[in-house]
Amino acid sequence: HNGQSMMDLWMLQGDSHNPLECATLGHFEFFGLSPKPAKESQISITYRYTHNGIVEVEARDLSTDNILSHRLSGDKYSLQDVLNGNIPAHIAVIMDCSGSMYGEALDAAKVSTNRFIEENIRSNRSIAIFTSPGGTKPVAGPHNDPRILSKALNELVAIGSTDIAKSILIARRNLKEKGTIFIILSDGIVDDPSAVERACNKVRKQGGRIFCIGVGPNVNRAFLQKICASKEDYADAYDPLSISHALNNIITQVD
């Protein structure tokens, strides 16, 4: 996907063209891909036996000639889960509740996010809600109970400044699983733009993906587009219908 900086690799052994009929030798996570638009990265994979008969794997980013660092994955899902689309996933919704979002902008974001939650909760997909400004924990989640998430959303009020960087940090620490989706709903008027950019870069290095939805009539579109990996990961929205459309487009991309 756009801006991808890590990848999974399943190393199999067997004669069948069906991967499920082969033995799994290892599930690895590779880091340090040079971020590019979707489908443009070229990776060379090398398998080799050591003199002790142990199979090793190496991945090289052909655009930089760098050998990627890697580790054994700690994830608990199987290759069958991958092929069936049953990989567990967390979605972090970061809601800008600063004073500049007061009124119709925040109300529209709450209505649309409620609808999004009701339509997209699954047994293997949980959603957590974080706010800016906020505390040191999510206001709800991660849950796959829409009632808990809806209650937390309905209680949000617009007040204070916009410390999106802190909200991203809290989300990243609370949702440590690789590949978390971060959806930021904001007008882009933030306290410390540089800190937000640094926080987003850390998310991507850990395999997360950031989407931004610019909410309201006076959006700092240039900034929100900047913190996404590409312009395709940003959407303008002005009312519940357009916000819902943007949220559904995000789910379509990551499913």
Q: How far apart are CA 100 and CA 216, in angstroms?
A: 9
The closest alpha carbon to 3, from 233, 157, 224, belongs to: 233
- Residue 72: other Cβ atoms inside 10 A: 9
Question: Which residues, 6 or more positions from 31, have their beta carbon under 8 angstroms from its beta carbon?
Answer: 5, 6, 68, 69, 70, 71, 205, 207
- Per DSSP bridges, beta strands 43-49 and 55-61 are antiparallel
Closest CA to 8 of 177, 124, 121: 177
pLDDT at res. 196: 94
What is the chain's pLDDT, residue by residue, as a tens digit (255 residues)? 888 888 889 999 899 999 899 998 889 989 888 888 888 899 999 999 888 888 889 999 998 999 999 988 877 778 888 887 777 778 999 999 999 899 999 999 999 999 999 888 877 778 899 998 877 778 888 888 889 999 999 999 988 888 899 999 999 888 876 568 999 999 999 989 999 999 998 888 888 889 999 998 889 999 999 999 888 899 999 899 999 999 998 888 776
Q: Outline where DSSP puts E strands in the chain.
A: 6-13, 23-31, 43-49, 55-61, 66-67, 69-72, 89-96, 125-132, 140-143, 181-186, 209-215, 234-237
| Full-model pTM | 0.82
What contacts 44, CB < 8 A, 6 or more positions away?
Answer: 59, 60, 62
Taking phi over 0 as left and psi of -120 to 50 as alpha, with beta for the rest, 39 belongs to left
